[in-house]
Amino acid sequence: MAYPALEALGSPLVDDVSVPLSQLAAVIDEVERVAARRGLTIGVVGHAGDGNLHPTVIVDPRDPASPAAAHEAFDEIADYALSLGGTVTGEHGIGLLKVGLLERELDPVAARLHRQLKDLLDPLGLFNPGKVIRR
């Protein structure tokens, strides 16, 4: 019932990060700090057993600046998760909203390998052109 409760507060921006289990409390504390600094409501739902968390930022649909503020807050949380040895995703993978975050997570060798695999499997660039792995 966590999501219906959050939806009652506004439009939720649901995303995920994963961290080592030993860092769960640190991430939750950081979410609280980000929410306080930015004046936002951010709920945290997750799979505590595997380190996968869903920081859910509440967007005010009446405020045109709110969606951008929500994305910036999530980026801040994702950067923190990376600093703890985590990843910018959990079970939902990388979508268009996380392309920049994936690029921050991957080291240059891993990013090059991803691009090479994409080129090998899709030499004509026909599969989801311009998505996830940027050139």
State the Cα–Cα distance between residues 37 and 31, nearest whole angstrom.
10
Are 16 and 65 in a shared domain? yes
Are 80 and 115 in a shared domain? no
As a whole number of Å, the end-to-end CA separation of the chain is 41
Query: For the chain, how many structural domains are there in total?
Result: 2
Q: How do residues 54-81 score in pLDDT, each as one tens digit?
A: 999 999 999 999 999 999 999 999 999 9
Give me the DSSP letters along 13-55: EE--EE--GGGHHHHHHHHHHHHHHHT--EEEEEETTTTEEEE
Which residue in this structure is represented by tokens 């966590």? 2
Q: How do residues 78-133 score in pLDDT, each as one tens digit?
A: 999 999 999 998 877 777 778 788 888 888 898 889 889 988 999 998 887 777 76
Q: How do residues 2-29 score in pLDDT, each as one tens digit?
A: 999 999 999 999 889 999 999 999 999 9
Domain containing 131 equals 96-135
